[in-house]
């Protein structure tokens, strides 16, 4: 636009060359985590919340939860006053909720670049990439098992993505590295290729311990002992079972004061009842038991109320995403988390599509929008997820990561200062006029509207001449550029050496395992 160009020229002065330089400058900017200035959407009535909370206590007391192959956990529960029968823990009404009270309502996870520390809880929203896929699909190479090279690519993309605050954890499963050693390479990639906060390993308690040891090298033991440097994903084996692998990892992290996302993993209809109210009841019971247990390990350990919920397609048995039931549960669980004063994790760029196509985008957008309005504080899988989580897609990563900018702007709410009211503009322009050239537009255009860094806004003719590219093709070009532009953030060579030595020694200490 003329107005935009004129002002830009005036501000920069240098003419064509300067403009070109600015256009080609690489941005390593990361937006601050979101602080919502908008209300949460509350789908549950106070009566509904009361019923769910009442029923969840019945579940804990009368049905109970299993802590599997974990005598120490059973002993902790006994000492806390629970009725333990075999591996079944019956938690008296009110006990779990009262134990949860020692968990912080908000905490800081620090990054090695302090500008990228994140606050988790209250009105914040921290965005982290896809977690867990064993496959990668890209536009040129198709679908294949993920490798460590893919893993490093995703860490770089997350580092280069302005709207991602967090490097995540298992951005994909590097299947070319032995299963008992890959956590070391994965952690090292997050620590060395990015300076954003990251997650630790949970696939074995000893790997959680390794994660903490490597964090001690990176941050220093004094920092690890006094602050949260990792937020790790502890899934509950729904319904109502807590396995010893996940609980063993939780015990390491909680004892070290590191944060755990305590997260039912529910495919509704299979691992929970085929109703929203029933599923919310189960989610609440499971989180109450899990968070209470973390506080038995160490009162005050930071935790996040997690809710990963999808529902089963009753025709095919496949999990489904971006559905209305998933949105209802996301909204409802947010209300339950706030009643506990706990940070909340849910939603993500979830979808069941095989391709980064319209299905993938509809379903992802449904979930991302619900995530913002439900008060999510930590959103895992915020970009890159495909095919029900089996696949990580770099194109989808870039597409979703662009959409995350929308959440930032929407969360700011509607400004109402004198400038925002724009009465001068309305007076200046008047009936039948045009706002492009008016003073208010000249002063505000640069920051007025969120703008995509990916999607196509061009006229049809220009778009056709440029190859009539769809979103996937645009994303493919964009990600190539991001990887070309990537520069590794500086890491102290002494620390780097120490991390490598730890990995070498650990790897040498055990034979390779692939299952």
**What string of DSSP letters covers 290-318?**
HHHHHHHHSTT--EEEE-EEEEE-TTT--
| Position 387 contacts a second copy (CB under 8 A) | yes
d(CA 144, CA 391): 9
d(CA 106, CA 302): 8
d(CA 286, CA 340): 13
| Position 277 contacts a second copy (CB under 8 A) | yes
Cβ-based nearer residue to a second copy, 167 or 310: 310
**Phi, psi dihedral angles at 488 (to 5 degrees):** -70, 130
Cβ-based nearer residue to a second copy, 480 or 512: 480
| Min dist. Cβ of residue 169 to a second copy (A) | 24
| Min dist. Cβ of residue 370 to a second copy (A) | 8
| DSSP-derived 3-state class of residue 344 | strand
CB 59 within 8 A of CB 278: no
CB 8 within 8 A of CB 447: no
CB 337 within 8 A of CB 120: no
| Min dist. Cβ of residue 358 to a second copy (A) | 4
| Position 71 contacts a second copy (CB under 8 A) | no
| Position 91 contacts a second copy (CB under 8 A) | no
| Position 82 contacts a second copy (CB under 8 A) | no
Half-sphere exposure at residue 330, Cβ-oriented, CA atoms within 13 angstroms: 32
| DSSP-derived 3-state class of residue 379 | strand
Cβ-based nearer residue to a second copy, 436 or 510: 436
Q: Of 317, 497, 501, 510, which lies in the binding site for a second copy, with binding defined by CB under 8 A?
A: 317
| Position 343 contacts a second copy (CB under 8 A) | no
| Position 254 contacts a second copy (CB under 8 A) | no
CA of residue 252 relative to chain centroid, distance? 22
- Contact segment (CB under 8 A) with a second copy among 114-122, 179-187, 199-207, 447-455 equals 447-455
d(CA 342, CA 122): 8
| Position 18 contacts a second copy (CB under 8 A) | no
| Min dist. Cβ of residue 460 to a second copy (A) | 6
- Contact segment (CB under 8 A) with a second copy among 122-130, 346-354, 377-385, 494-502 equals 346-354
Cβ-based nearer residue to a second copy, 34 or 230: 34
| Position 69 contacts a second copy (CB under 8 A) | no
d(CA 125, CA 361): 21
CB 328 within 8 A of CB 43: yes
Cα-Cα-Cα-Cα dihedral sign, residues 451, 457, 462, 463 = positive
Q: Of 455, 483, 501, 510, which lies in the binding site for a second copy, with binding defined by CB under 8 A?
A: 455
| Min dist. Cβ of residue 255 to a second copy (A) | 25
CB 304 within 8 A of CB 120: yes
| Position 23 contacts a second copy (CB under 8 A) | no
Site string for a second copy, 412-441 (x = CB under 8 A): -xxxx--xxxxx-xxx-xxxxxxxx-x-xx
Q: Of 73, 234, 256, 271, which lies in the binding site for a second copy, with binding defined by CB under 8 A?
A: 271
């Amino acid at each position: 636009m003329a107005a935009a160009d004129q002002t830009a020229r005036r501000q920069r002065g240098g003419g064509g060359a300067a403009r070109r330089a600015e256009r080609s400058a690489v941005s390593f900017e990361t937006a601050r985590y979101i602080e919502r200035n908008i209300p949460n959407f509350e789908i549950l009535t106070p009566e509904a919340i009361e019923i769910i909370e009442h029923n969840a206590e019945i579940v804990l007391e009368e049905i109970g939860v299993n802590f599997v192959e974990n005598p120490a956990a059973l002993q902790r529960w006994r000492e806390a006053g629970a009725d333990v029968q075999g591996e079944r823990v019956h938690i008296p009404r009110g006990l779990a909720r009262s134990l949860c009270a020692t968990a912080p309502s908000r905490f800081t996870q620090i990054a090695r670049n302090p500008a990228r520390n994140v606050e988790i809880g209250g009105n914040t929203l921290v965005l982290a990439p896809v977690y867990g896929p064993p496959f990668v699909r890209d536009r040129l190479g198709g679908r294949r098992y993920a490798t460590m090279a893919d893993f490093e690519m995703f860490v770089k993309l997350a580092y280069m993505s302005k709207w991602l605050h967090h490097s995540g954890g298992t951005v994909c499963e590097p299947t070319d590295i032995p299963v008992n050693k890959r956590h070391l390479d994965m952690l090292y990639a997050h620590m060395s290729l990015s300076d954003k906060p990251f997650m630790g390993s949970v696939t074995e308690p000893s790997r959680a311990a390794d994660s903490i040891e490597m964090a001690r090298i990176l941050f220093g033991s004094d920092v690890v002992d006094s602050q949260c440097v990792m937020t790790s994903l502890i899934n509950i084996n729904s319904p109502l079972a807590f396995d010893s692998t996940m609980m063993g990892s939780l015990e390491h992290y909680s004892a070290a004061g590191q944060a755990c996302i305590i997260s039912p993993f529910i495919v509704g209809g299979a691992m929970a009842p085929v109703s929203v109210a029933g599923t919310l009841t189960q989610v609440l019971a499971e989180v109450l038991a899990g968070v209470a247990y973390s506080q038995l390990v160490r009162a005050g350990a930071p935790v996040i109320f997690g809710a990963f919920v999808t529902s089963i397609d009753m025709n095919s048995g496949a999990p489904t995403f971006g559905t209305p039931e998933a949105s209802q549960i996301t909204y409802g669980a947010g209300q339950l988390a706030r009643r506990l004063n706990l940070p909340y994790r849910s939603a993500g760029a979830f979808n069941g599509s095989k391709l980064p196509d319209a299905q993938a985008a509809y379903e992802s957008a449904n979930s991302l929008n619900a995530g913002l309005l439900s008060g999510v504080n930590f959103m895992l899988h915020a970009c890159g997820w495909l095919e029900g989580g089996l696949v990580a897609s770099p194109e989808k990563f870039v597409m979703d990561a662009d959409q995350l900018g929308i959440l930032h702007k929407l969360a700011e709410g509607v400004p109402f200062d004198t400038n925002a009211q724009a009465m001068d503009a309305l007076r200046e322009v008047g009936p039948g006029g045009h706002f492009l050239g008016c003073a208010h537009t000249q002063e505000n255009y640069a920051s007025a509207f969120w703008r995509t860094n990916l999607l196509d806004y061009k006229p049809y003719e220009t778009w056709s001449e440029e190859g009539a590219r769809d979103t996937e093709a645009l994303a493919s070009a964009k990600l190539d550029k991001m990887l070309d532009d990537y520069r590794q953030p500086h890491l102290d060579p002494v620390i780097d050496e120490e991390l490598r030595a730890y990995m070498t020694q650990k790897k040498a200490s055990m034979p390779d395992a692939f299952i």
